[in-house]
Structure 1
Amino acid sequence: MIKVLLADDQAMVRGALATVLGLEPDIEVVAQVGSGDEVLPAAARTAPDVALLDVQMPGRDGLQVAADLHRARPGCRIVICTTFGRPGYLARAMTAGAVGFVVKDAPPEQLVEAVRRVHGGLRVVDPALAAESLATGEGPLTGREREALRLALDGGTVADMAAALHLTEGTVRNHLSTAIGKLGARNRAEAARIADERGWL
């Protein structure tokens, strides 16, 4: 049996995925969690072979959790299963240790096949997303620029950002200015939107 852990904050989606996978004779869903913070404890309890992680969840997001899970349980094969098929997410997922990336609007049989294939040692990536990711390239932002733009998405002031990042306001302005230039944006709000849409945040 292939033991699967599901992590998705939407209960209906999580339940539907569990039902689809549970119909297969060789797959058993051993854990279902609704936040990123619950993944590692659930994995420690159930020792899954495959973990299906959503990207956007309460607590730590799926990409952050993927890196932690990969370190804690290197034998667990990680698949990102998300609504948000953004090319930047794909690159970050693979860097974090994921071996699969599927979008939720794919047919159910593709998800089942993805679980079997990654369990068998293969990589599985949505082909359209892979092509888009290659065309878009790696994100141009540094870690600090990403952090500043994440805070800009929430509409924080430069003073708020400086306090949150433990930086001076001048340094935050420099990071924002550089990010705006790299993304060809008119202002920090537009830069944050562009980076978010491309999955670079």
Structure 2
Amino acid sequence: MNTDAPLRLLLADDQSLVRAGLAALLDLEPDMEVVAQTDSGAAVVDLAREHAADVALLDVEMPGVDGIEAAAALKASGLACRALIVTTFGRPGYLSRALEAGADGFVVKDVPAEELADAVRRVSRGQRVVDPSLAAETLSLGGSPLTGREQDVLRAALDGSPVREIAAALHLSPGTVRNHLSSAIGKTHTSTRAEAAAVARDRGWL
């Protein structure tokens, strides 16, 4: 990266108003330039390569490829572009998953503009930036207790689908689905599958 040139930023967020607001704020910084924007996590690697981006600011919840998957793809691509997760959803599980995926930083969208700009600069220098209150909460909660199959079943249960539909979608027997749901309910200390799915979602485990 040329230290005399502005930092080249890529923004990925499926909410166009939020993306435009971030772009306007960051373009005010004399040492930054937003060179590409997208509403799709799937486009991040190609855009980072095409525009020689230094830092990609990624929302978590995007349709298709989400920000955490995009961060992992960016890491695997071998490009020099670093990944900073900037999200409304400050969930501990998201932080853990993002860092495991290779993200270089994680901040929430209500961070003051000067702090966001500082986070971008620090990430560009190879430093790791994590929202301190979220880091503390993540440590206190620990990692996800759910198995991969329990996560799959709860994810499918989020919209209230009946057991038989979940079983058909995941190619499992209804009995196996019920067993996974029962285990997940116990691990989340809830009473119903809807509550278990909501807790797992809110903690970023899904």
The question of whether the paired residues in 1 share the 8 Å contact of 2:16 and 2:39 is answered with yes
Corresponding letter in the other structure for 2:90: G
Aligned mate of 1:97, from 96, 102, 110: 102
Question: How far apart are residue 54 of structure 1 and its match?
Answer: 0.3
Q: Does 1:85 align with 2:90?
A: yes
Matches within 5 A, 1:22-171: 22-171=27-176
SS of 1:30's equivalent? strand
Percent identity, please: 62
Distance, in Å, in 2 between the alignment partners of 1:70 and 1:164 is 31
SS of 1:115's equivalent? helix
Give CA-to-partner distance per residue, 1:113-170, whole Å, 9 cap, x none. Answer: 0000010110101111111111111111111111111111111111211222122222
Distance, in Å, in 2 between the alignment partners of 1:182 and 1:91 is 18
Which blocks of at least 5 consecutive residues in structure 1 are unaligned?
none
Tell me which residue corresponds to 2:183: 178
Distance, in Å, in 2 between the alignment partners of 1:146 and 1:120 is 35
SS of 1:135's equivalent? helix
Distance, in Å, in 1 between the alignment partners of 2:78 and 2:9 is 13
Question: How far apart are residue 44 of structure 1 and its match?
Answer: 2.9
Aligned residues: 201
Distance, in Å, in 1 between the alignment partners of 2:77 and 2:162 is 37
Stretch of structure 1 that moved more, 155-164 or 4-13: 155-164
Question: How far apart are residue 31 of structure 1 and its match?
Answer: 0.7
Which blocks of at least 5 consecutive residues in structure 2 are unaligned?
1-5
TM-align CA RMSD: 1.2
Distance, in Å, in 2 between the alignment partners of 1:14 and 1:67 is 21
Give CA-to-partner distance per residue, 1:83-139, whole Å, 9 cap, x none. Answer: 000111100000000010000001001110000001011010111111111111111
SS of 1:138's equivalent? coil
Tell me which residue corresponds to 2:201: 196
Give CA-to-partner distance per residue, 1:43-69, whole Å, 9 cap, x none. Answer: 232221111100111222111221112
Distance, in Å, in 2 between the alignment partners of 1:46 and 1:56 is 23
Stretch of structure 1 that moved more, 111-120 or 169-178: 169-178
